[in-house]
Amino acid sequence: MTTEFENQGGAAQMDPSPFRRWLTSRWMSYRTSVPLVEKRRAKAEKKRQQSGLPHRVEYFHQVEDGYSHLAAQLLQPLLENYEVELICHLVTVENDLNLPEPDLLLPLSRFDASKVGPHYGLDFPGGRDAPDPLRVKRAEQILASVSQSDFPAAAVEVGRALWSGDEEALEALAARYGSASSAETSALISLGTTRRAELKHYSAAMFYYGDEWYWGADRFYHLEKRLMGYGASKTQRDSLICPRPEIEHGPYRDNGSLTFEIYPSLRSPYTAVIFDEALALAQSTGVRCVVRPVLPMVMRGVSATMQKGSYIFSDAAREAAALGLSYGPFYDPIGEPVRRAYSLYAWACQGGKGHAFLSSFLQNAFYRGVNLNREAGLRKVVEEVGLSWSEAQTRLGNDEWEEDMEKNRLAMYAFGSWGVPSFRLLDASGKEVLGLWGQDRLWLFSREIQRLLKQAESSD
């Protein structure tokens, strides 16, 4: 089925026909619904049992990807704690419609991994700097030569040597494990990349199990809970190897000295999952909250495919469920609904309703399935936050918001992010403390806020 996720180059794709918008929204709502997800999982498990197969997990590793180094550290614990068969693949990530910003992705993966790793009990000895390309090739050759049984340990050791720039350690590992030729390594990476494409994915640090994808350390808890539910745990433990850290709201409270910036988009399912949580964090901690909306990716020329769209909406629904949110049904607000809403945003802010307006729009689009392309839908949003629809009509359709949205986009790119939701934390002097992309990073910002407030209290 072709949808507006594909070939996002022109106005026709950014403003799909009413039927196309309805069809896509119904299809995605159905695909991500809890009953269907449970049905698909039950079907996959029944098929596995009937075939007499083990719980088979496939893992896709990219040597120069920071997230892959974190994920590799979970391979051995996975084998030790669960009855699984693990198959590891080497892959590369190419510049295609699924990953339009590869030059930005790898630096982000390195910086992000260095920040989140310690909170997961994992280490990442690097930072923003890229590893030496020759050492990357050497690391690939070593891992291309190891057996499946040796891969979990070797991937961690090779990664640690690579990211710490320890050439001597890398050569010692080559002596221990061997080193494949360049041709053999390229062929193996090609096989892994092809296998991932066959399974309909495009990224690195991915786990595949039972027709479902799990991204790195951040989604590992979903995989663990599923394996536990199937009785695949080797022990009686009910704790997870890699649980998602909780969002922390206390005990320290600010007086507005810190600034917490939120970069949302009105067409982002991940924004819909976390926007209210982010506002609640700012309110409970007393930090100054600044919301800086941006245009959706596809409305600013960043392409996306149906494959990527399907994964994003499914993953967002899964993340929402983990937070206890009743995500869906949704009605895609791409194009004109987003533009019309943004044309009212400054006015809503003047009335002190800016945050509530964005929240209401997201709730209606992604949790209630309201068609915001219709006047009745947008009117519902306006009146729901206590604003006048008749007054809103006099402001609808202006383009004054476009300059601010572009400034927000440039500010987001400046700290290494190009997607939403993104967050940035500034200290009392306005200096950036942390800037990262992802609804699954709010917990990290909550911890950083508490760290800074504790530090400030200690110095008083």
- Enumerate the β-bridge partners of residue 289: 260
- 40-229 belongs to CATH 3.40.50.150: no
pLDDT tens, residue by residue, 345-393 = 999 999 999 999 999 999 999 999 999 999 999 999 999 999 999 999 9
pLDDT-derived band at 145, boundaries 50, 70, 90: very high
Which residues, in sequence order, are CB contacts of 304 under 8 Å at separation 6+?
Answer: 5, 6, 8, 97, 98, 297, 298
Residues 295-316 have a mean pLDDT of 81
Per mean pLDDT, which of 99-108, 286-295, 321-330 is the most reliable? 286-295
pLDDT tens, residue by residue, 54-111 = 999 999 999 999 999 999 999 999 999 999 999 999 999 876 667 767 778 899 999 9
Is it the case that residue 3 has pLDDT exceeding 90?
no
Distance between CA atoms of residues 35 and 39, nearest Å: 6
DSSP letters for 57-116: EEEEE-TT-HHHHHHHTTHHHHHHHB-EEEEEEE----SSSS-S-HHHHHHHHHHHHHHH
Is it the case that residue 13 has pLDDT exceeding 60?
no
pLDDT number for residue 237 = 75
pLDDT number for residue 12 = 36
pLDDT number for residue 14 = 64
Q: Which of 194-208, 287-301, 404-418 has the lowest mean pLDDT?
A: 287-301
Distance between CA atoms of residues 293 and 355, nearest Å: 10
pLDDT number for residue 303 = 62
DSSP H stretches of helix in 164-287: 167-177, 182-198, 216-229, 269-285
DSSP letters for 294-350: ---GGGGT----HHHHHHHHHHHHHHHHHTT---------TTHHHHHHHHHHHHHHH
Residues 28-43 have a mean pLDDT of 90
> In degrees, to the nearest 5, what angle opens at C-alpha 385 toward C-alphas 246 and 333?
75
- What residue spans in the chain does CATH classification 3.40.30.10 cover? 40-229, 259-459
Say if residue 228 is exposed, middle or buried (CB neighbours under 10 Å; 0-12, 13-18, 19+): middle
Beta-strand relationship, 206-209 and 55-61: antiparallel
Is it the case that residue 460 has pLDDT exceeding 70?
no
CATH of 259-459, one of 1.10.579.10, 3.20.20.105, 3.40.30.10, 3.30.1360.70: 3.40.30.10
Structure-token pair, residue 420: 């939403």
State the DSSP code for 453: H
Which residues, in sequence order, are CB contacts of 191 under 8 Å at separation 6+?
Answer: 89
pLDDT-derived band at 7, boundaries 50, 70, 90: very low
Per cent of the chain over pLDDT 70 is: 94
Omega cis (within 30) before 133: no
- Enumerate the β-bridge partners of residue 205: none
> In degrees, to the nearest 5, what angle opens at C-alpha 6 toward C-alphas 3 and 9?
120
Structure-token pair, residue 153: 């340990």
pLDDT tens, residue by residue, 210-266 = 999 999 999 999 999 999 999 999 987 779 999 999 999 999 999 999 999 999 999
pLDDT number for residue 74 = 98
Which residues, in sequence order, are CB contacts of 348 under 8 Å at separation 6+?
Answer: 354, 356, 357, 385, 387
Closest CA to 206 of 45, 32, 68, 100: 68
Which residues, in sequence order, are CB contacts of 244 under 8 Å at separation 6+?
Answer: 218, 221, 322, 440, 443
pLDDT number for residue 100 = 64
DSSP letters for 397-426: T--THHHHHHHHHHHHHHTT--SSSEEEEE
pLDDT number for residue 20 = 85
| Backbone angles phi and psi of 263, in degrees to 5 | -110, 95
Distance between CA atoms of residues 399 and 342, nearest Å: 9
Distance between CA atoms of residues 371 and 377, nearest Å: 6
pLDDT-derived band at 10, boundaries 50, 70, 90: very low
Structure-token pair, residue 43: 């079907």
pLDDT number for residue 301 = 63
What is the overall mean pLDDT for the chain?
A: 92
Strands of the sheet containing 84-90, edge to edge, are: 84-90, 55-61, 206-209, 212-215
Is it the case that residue 300 has pLDDT exceeding 90?
no
pTM here is 0.93
